[in-house]
Every structure is written in C-alpha cells, then in structure tokens.
Amino acid sequence: MPTPSATQRPRIAGVGRVLVVVYAILALGAFGRSLVQIIQQFDQAPLAYTLSAVSAAVYIVATVALVARGAIWYRIAWITITFEMIGVLVVGTLSVVAPELFAHASVWSYYGVGYLFIPLVLPVLGMLWLSKHRPVPAGVEGAPVEGASR
C-alpha cells in the first residue's frame, strides 16, 4: 500500500501552480515598475508610486504564502489576497471617480488596466483556490495530507 505522501500531489500542482506563477510574474512586474518609478519620478506622483510599491509587496507575500505549507501561511495568503482585492477595488474606483489622484498610474489604477485587468481577476481566482484547498488538521483519519490537492 502506498504511503499517503506518495499518493498526494504537491499543494501547488495543476491550477495552483499556474496561479502561483502568475502571482510571481505580477510580483516581479509590480516590484520592477515601482522601483523605477520611485527612483526616477517619486516627486511627480508619490501616492501612485507608493501604491505600486505596496501592491508589489502584497504580491510577493501572497506568492510566498500560496507556496508555503501550514495553517499560518494559509491565513497569510487569505489576508494578502483579501487586501489585494480591496486595494484593486478602492484604487480602481478612486482612479475613475477622482483621476486627479492618479495622474500617473499605479498597478491597481483603473482596476489594473495596465496589466490587462489581471490585478482584478487574480484575487478572485486566488480566493476560489484557497477556499478549495484548506489545510487539513493533523491526525484526521482518511484526510489528505495538509496542502495536498483534493
């Protein structure tokens, strides 16, 4: 009889792996963009460029939290992805109703239009994925290994 670890897939297998890769790419893109903006033009649009840096940090932490195992990382993933969703909705709405606040775009401006609306869709997909991949308490008989795909 195979051991449970031999029959379980890693947490980020399949769709989870694609989700993590997209988060990692967005994290790198947002980080690079915010770094260049802050170094070269921070005085022109400090709010927008600070928000780009915040979004980069959120994407980096979310990427790590999606890959890492355990209940604490699972909670961190939920917190960062929820923050991301709120950020996209608030900044996206403010950029529409008060565009003077965002003379220069941030990652979340206009709901992520500069990133093909991926910042708007990604947290929804992340929340769906997290809701279907809850960590299982240790010692539950017949339960899959924590973080394994169901």
Report the domain count for the chain.
Answer: 1
In a domain, 3, yes or no: no
Mean of per-residue pLDDT scores for the chain: 84
For the cut 60, the answer to whether the pLDDT of residue 143 exceeds it is no
Question: Which of the pair, 128 or 147, is modelled with greater confidence?
Answer: 128
Question: What was the pLDDT predicted at 81?
Answer: 97
In a domain, 74, yes or no: yes
Question: What was the pLDDT predicted at 7?
Answer: 38
Give 116-125's long-range contacts (Cβ < 8 A, gap of 24+): 118/22, 118/26, 119/26, 119/55, 119/84, 119/88, 120/88, 120/92, 122/19, 122/22, 122/23, 122/26, 122/84, 123/81, 123/82, 123/84, 123/85, 123/88, 124/85, 125/19
Question: Which of the pair, 20 or 106, is modelled with greater confidence?
Answer: 20
Place of tokens 């795909």: 149
In a domain, 143, yes or no: no
Query: What are the pLDDT digits (tens) for 2-24?
Result: 444 433 445 566 788 999 999 99
CA neighbor of 54 nearest in space, from 73, 25, 27: 27
State the residue range of the domain holding 120: 14-132
